[in-house]
Chain A
C-alpha cells in the first residue's frame, strides 16, 4: 500500500513538474497572439505582461476572451483526470499488480519451500547414504560373524556326529565281538558236552546206575512230598 502511495505521489510530482510548464504554455498566447498580447499588454499595463493566470476570465475561471485558461482550472482538471484515471486504470493496474505480486510471492514461497524440501531430501539422502555405508559395514561384519559362528557350529556338530558314529561303531563292534565270543563259547561248550556225553555213555555202567539209584532212594526217603507226615 505504501508502494502504491509512493507510486501515486510520483505521478503527481511528475505532473506538477512537467505538466505545469505545459499548462503555462497552454496558458500563454501563440506567437502572433503573443505579439498581439505584447501590444495589448502595452496597452493595458502590467496585468497582461505574462506569468501564471490562476483563474480564467470565462465561466468558473475557464478561458475568457483572452483565451487563457486559469491554472487552477487546469490543475483541477488534472486532478479530476487523475482521479478518473485512478478509478478506471490505476486501481485495476494496482489490483492486477497486487495479484501478480501475490502469485509471484506464492510461487516464490512455493519454490522456496520446494527448495527447502529438496535440500532436506538431499540432506536426508546424504545422511542415509552415509548411514548406508556404515550399515553395509555393520551388515558385512554381522555376516562375517554369523558365518564364523555357523562354521564353528557346523564343526561342532560334525565333531559330535563323528563322536557318536565312533561310539556307535565301537558299541557295534563290541556287541559283535561279544556275540562271536558267546557263539564261540557256546560251540566250545556244546562240543565239550558232546565229548563228555560220549565219554559218560561209554563208561557208564551198572555200578554207576546203582549208585545213582541208591543216592536217589536215600534222598527221597528222607524227603517229604505233598505234605505227607
Chain B
C-alpha cells in the first residue's frame, strides 16, 4: 500500500507515456491484467505468502529475481514495453505493493480523458438488457459522458436499485426507504 497522492503521481507519469487514446487504453488493459494477476491467490497457500504481489514486494528476494518474475508475468500478458519499463521502475522504487491504487487512479485518468465514467448499479433481482440500456442512457444523459456500466445483484435491496457514479450515489431501493422509515419512526 502507498499513499493516494503518490499513486496518483505514478498514474500521471504513466499516462504521459501514452501518446494516443489507443495507447492509453492499451496501457490500461495491461495494467488491469497485471493487477488481476497480482490479485490471484493460490488456495494451497492459506498464508498468502506466495501470492505474486507478496513475492514482488518481499525484500528478502533479490531484486534480480523479482525483476525476472515481473518480466515473465508481463511477457505472458503481452504488456507494452512502456508498461514494462514503468512497472520495472515501480518495482525498483519499492512501490509495487501500491499497484492497485495506481491502477485505479490511472483508470480514472484515462476515463476522464476519454470522456467516460464508470457506474455500478445494484438491483435486488437481475435486470434485463433493455432495462440496463435505459439505466445507462439515463446516466449518460445526466453525466454527459459515456457510461461504463456494471450491474450487481443484491437481494438485501428487496426492490428498486442503487447506482454509484463516481462519488455520487443514486438510491431508490426499498431497503433504503425502509431504513429511512425506521429512522423516522425512532425519532
Chain A contacts to B: CB under 8 angstroms: 185-186, 189-190, 192-193, 196-197, 200-201, 204, 208-210, 212-213, 215-217, 219-221, 223-226, 228-229
Interface of B, helix, strand, loop or mixed by DSSP: mixed
From A189, A197, A204, A221, contact of B142 by CB (8 A): A221
Q: In the complex, A190→B143 CA distance in Å?
A: 38
From A193, A201, A212, contact of B182 by CB (8 A): A193
Query: Looking across the interface, which residue of chain B has its beta carbon closest to that of A224?
Result: B142
| Further contacts, 19 of them, CB under 8 A, given A193-B185, A216-B161 | A196-B178, A200-B178, A204-B158, A208-B159, A209-B123, A212-B159, A213-B127, A213-B134, A213-B135, A216-B160, A216-B163, A217-B135, A219-B170, A219-B172, A220-B170, A225-B170, A226-B144, A226-B168, A229-B144
Point out the residues of chain B lying under 8 angstroms from A197, CB to CB: 158, 178
Identify which of residues 138-164 in chain B touch chain A, using a CB-to-CB cut-off of 8 Å: 138-139, 141-145, 158-161, 163
Point out the residues of chain B lying under 8 angstroms from A190, CB to CB: 182
B143 touches A217 (CB 8 A): no
Point out the residues of chain A lying under 8 angstroms from B59, CB to CB: none
Q: For the complex formed, measure the closest distance between the CB of B83 and the CB atoms of chain A, giving whole angstroms.
A: 29
Q: CB-CB contacts of B113-128 with A at 8 A, as 1s and 0s?
A: 0000100000111010
Query: Looking across the interface, which residue of chain A has its beta carbon closest to that of B185?
Result: A189
Residue with the highest number of chain B CB atoms closer than 10 Å, among A190, A208, A216: A216
B172 touches A215 (CB 8 A): yes
B134 touches A217 (CB 8 A): yes
Whether, in the assembled complex, B165 has its beta carbon less than 8 Å from a beta carbon of chain A, the answer is yes
Query: Looking across the interface, which residue of chain A has its beta carbon closest to that of B183?
Result: A189
Q: In the complex, A192→B166 CA distance in Å?
A: 35
B172 touches A216 (CB 8 A): yes
Whether, in the assembled complex, B174 has its beta carbon less than 8 Å from a beta carbon of chain A, the answer is yes
Q: In the complex, A201→B155 CA distance in Å?
A: 10
Interface of A, helix, strand, loop or mixed by DSSP: helix
B117 touches A226 (CB 8 A): yes
Point out the residues of chain A lying under 8 angstroms from B68, CB to CB: none
Q: CB-CB contacts of B164-186 with A at 8 A, as 1s and 0s?
A: 01101010101000100110011
From B124, B142, B159, contact of A228 by CB (8 A): B142
Point out the residues of chain B lying under 8 angstroms from A226, CB to CB: 117, 143-145, 165-166, 168
Whether, in the assembled complex, B47 has its beta carbon less than 8 Å from a beta carbon of chain A, the answer is no
A221 touches B182 (CB 8 A): no
Q: For the complex formed, measure the closest distance between the CB of B72 and the CB atoms of chain A, giving whole angstroms.
A: 41
Point out the residues of chain B lying under 8 angstroms from A193, CB to CB: 178, 181-182, 185
Q: For the complex formed, measure the closest distance between the CB of A207 and the CB atoms of chain B, giving whole angstroms.
A: 11
A-B contacts, 27 of them at CB < 8 A, read A189-B186, A190-B182, A193-B182, A193-B185, A196-B178, A197-B158, A200-B174, A204-B174, A209-B123, A209-B125, A209-B159, A212-B161, A213-B161, A215-B172, A216-B138, A217-B138, A219-B170, A219-B172, A220-B138, A220-B141, A220-B163, A221-B138, A225-B142, A226-B144, A226-B168, A228-B142, A228-B145
Point out the residues of chain A lying under 8 angstroms from B166, CB to CB: 225-226
Point out the residues of chain A lying under 8 angstroms from B142, CB to CB: 220-221, 223-225, 228
Point out the residues of chain A lying under 8 angstroms from B62, CB to CB: none
Point out the residues of chain A lying under 8 angstroms from B161, CB to CB: 212-213, 216
B143 touches A213 (CB 8 A): no
Point out the residues of chain B lying under 8 angstroms from A219, CB to CB: 170, 172
